[in-house]
């Protein structure tokens, strides 16, 4: 059993609820403890994961949130920089499953977030558990 933290960018609450439910179910079915931490947006997720990782209380993390393209360049910055920072933390040895959705519209996000369809929350949790297993294998 390990302790996992789900860090959610709470911008689209109804979509995040689906992502969190999928991630929580996958982690709990595997016998892990789960805690959820909420941050305002996707750009804050990597910083929160870094701080929580430094505490030593968690073995793995699942990042969830939704970034929907708007009319400005802000979408590219948020989507790209949050993914880049999460990847940098992963390369530093922190097991993170990235479940931050980047979509053109809300309909695409619903398909990916819903447990009966894409279930990307569960997919991100499975990725985090897999990375933790790999890390432990080579420790």
Active site residue ranges:
74
Binding-site residue set for (2S)-2-hydroxy-3-oxobutyl phosphate: 71-72, 112
CA atoms within 13 A on the CB side of 133: 9
CA angle centred on 9, ends 106 and 58, rounded to 5°:
135
d(CA 86, CA 1): 24
Decide if 40 contacts 13 (C-beta within 8 A): no
Binding-site residue set: 11, 42-44, 66-68, 71-72, 98, 112
Binding-site residue set for 5-amino-6-(D-ribitylamino)uracil: 11, 42-44, 66-68, 98
d(CA 97, CA 123): 8
């Amino acid at each position: 059993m390990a302790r996992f933290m789900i860090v959610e960018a709470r911008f689209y609450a109804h979509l995040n609820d689906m992502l969190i439910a999928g991630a929580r179910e996958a982690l709990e079915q595997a016998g892990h403890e789960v805690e959820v931490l909420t941050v305002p947006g996707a750009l804050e997720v990597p910083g929160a994961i870094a701080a929580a990782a430094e505490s030593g209380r968690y073995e793995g993390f699942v990042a969830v949130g939704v970034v929907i393209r708007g009319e400005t360049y802000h979408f590219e910055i948020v989507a790209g920089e949050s993914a880049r920072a999460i990847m940098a933390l992963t390369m530093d040895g922190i097991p993170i499953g990235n479940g931050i959705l980047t979509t053109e519209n809300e309909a695409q996000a619903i398909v990916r977030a819903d447990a009966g369809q894409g279930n990307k929350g569960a997919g991100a949790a499975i990725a985090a558990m897999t990375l933790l297993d790999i890390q432990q294998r080579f420790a």
